[in-house]
Amino acid sequence: MIRVAVDALGGDSAPEEVVAGAAEAASPELQPILFGPAGLETHGLELVETTQEIAMDEKPAEAVRAKPDSSLVAACRAVGSGEADAVVSAGNTGAMLAACFLELRRLQGVSRPAIALVIPSEPRPSVLIDSGANADARPEHLLQFAHMGSVFSEEVLGVPDPQVRLLSIGEEPEKGNQLTLEAHELLAGAEGLNFAGNTESRDLLRGAADVVVCDGFTGNVALKLMEGTIKAVLDALREEITSSRRSRVGGLLVRPAARALRKRLDPETYGGAYLLGLRGLAVIAHGNSSRRAIANAIRLAARGVEHDVVGRLAQRLPERVLASARSDPGK
């Protein structure tokens, strides 16, 4: 039985959609545990009562310190104490990060945990890291992100010797801002990384690399642009195939392919992203998550427990970090 702590008050449509999503994800092998106020309708799921709530617009660090009995902090604490195997929240991302730092703590050698999003690219899924945890980052942080993403891709996604690329405005090594230029130099000289140079955002869905590395600001902008474009295209396709009788007839023929495409590309299919670099497993979901997205985020957390994401990173990262330190004379 995998127990996943769920922040019932996190997200734009909480608690109704969160509770419904948790109920949808529940199974004999997976038990969501809701953290929220007394009297919350749980559809039969276990409820851990909390007395505080962190709003989406609150300052993260201050809110976490001032509200230790909030649903978000309490859910993270359950993982830190071993009462749950993973935590899921669609609430304030900054507060989730602060609560995870406080309650779960970082793995040995990790300076900055990062959000690793699995992108449904072709011919196989790739990892975008960081997707939003660190708006400001230094070159050495991007080097660590590359190592975390590479270990994740190899150990969890089963990719042998994952290819790593740096997200920039051009494929040439001299393209980019100061951060990407310095990060490129570090990545190119790092031991244990299959670094193949820069890539551009237009190739993210076309298998740009097994691991695409960037700072959290750039990654989050790229992610939201990609998701918005996918949604706009899929919605436009649906409108076109229902716009006339002829289109509806043709739509019957393309419907199976359209459904398969939507299932593969729709962000709600994945539900969330792992926060890597912590001593416990955390999944961050979109603030506007529907019940379907919440259910899939909880299932994603369960898969992370099954694959022992934290244990594998804890085992593999120290050797990578030490190798990087040896390859960088400035350290």
* Tens of pLDDT, residues 126-165: 999 999 999 999 999 999 999 999 999 998 888 999 999 9
Quote the number of domains for the chain. Answer: 2
Do residue 133 and residue 232 come from a single domain? Answer: yes
Asked, for residue 327, whether it belongs to a domain, the answer is no
Whether residue 103 is found in the same domain as residue 168: no
* Peptide bond before residue 60 is cis, with ω within 30 degrees of 0: no
Residue 174 sits in the same domain as residue 247: yes
Let me know whether 250 and 206 are in one domain. Answer: yes
Phi and psi (nearest 5°) for 110? -85, 120
Residues 174 and 37 in one domain: no
Total length of the chain: 331
Residues of the chain with pLDDT under 50: 329-331
Q: What angle in degrees, to the nearest 10, is found between the helix axes of 139-155 and 178-189? A: 50
Q: Are residues 126 and 260 in the same domain?
A: yes
Token code pair at residue 172:
């040439």
**Cα gap 268→11, rounded to integer Å:** 14
Measure Cα distances from 77 to 100, 123, 214 in Å: 8, 39, 29
Q: Are residues 295 and 247 in the same domain?
A: no
- Where does residue 312 fall: left (phi above 0), alpha (psi -120 to 50 degrees), or beta otherwise? alpha
What does pTM read for this prediction? 0.89
Please give the Cα distance from 178 to 331 (Å, whole number): 19
Same domain? For 90 and 209 the reply is no
Mention every residue, 6+ apart, whose C-beta is less than 8 A from residue 133. 93, 97, 112, 113, 114, 115, 216, 275
- Per-residue pLDDT of 92-122, as tens digits, reads 999 999 999 999 999 988 999 999 999 888 8
* Contact by Cβ (8 Å): 314, 107: yes
Q: Range of 130's domain?
A: 114-267
pLDDT of residue 10: 95
The pLDDT value recorded for residue 329 is: 45
Specify the pLDDT at position 275.
Answer: 97
Does a structural domain hold residue 252? Answer: yes
At 57, which CATH number? 3.40.718.10
Q: With contact defined as beta carbons under 8 Å apart, do 293 and 25 qualify? A: no
Of the residues 267, 293, 319, the one at which a domain ends: 267
Please give the pLDDT value at position 283: 97
Query: For residue 46, what is the enclosing H or E element?
Result: strand 46-49
Residue 316 within any structural domain of the chain:
no
In a domain, 103, yes or no: yes
Which pLDDT score, from 0 to 100, does residue 184 have?
97
What is the predicted pLDDT for the residue at 260? 66
| Pairing relationship of beta strands 211-213 and 163-167 according to DSSP bridges | parallel
Nearest residue to 30 via CA among 39, 38, 21: 21
Tell me whether residue 155 is in a domain: yes
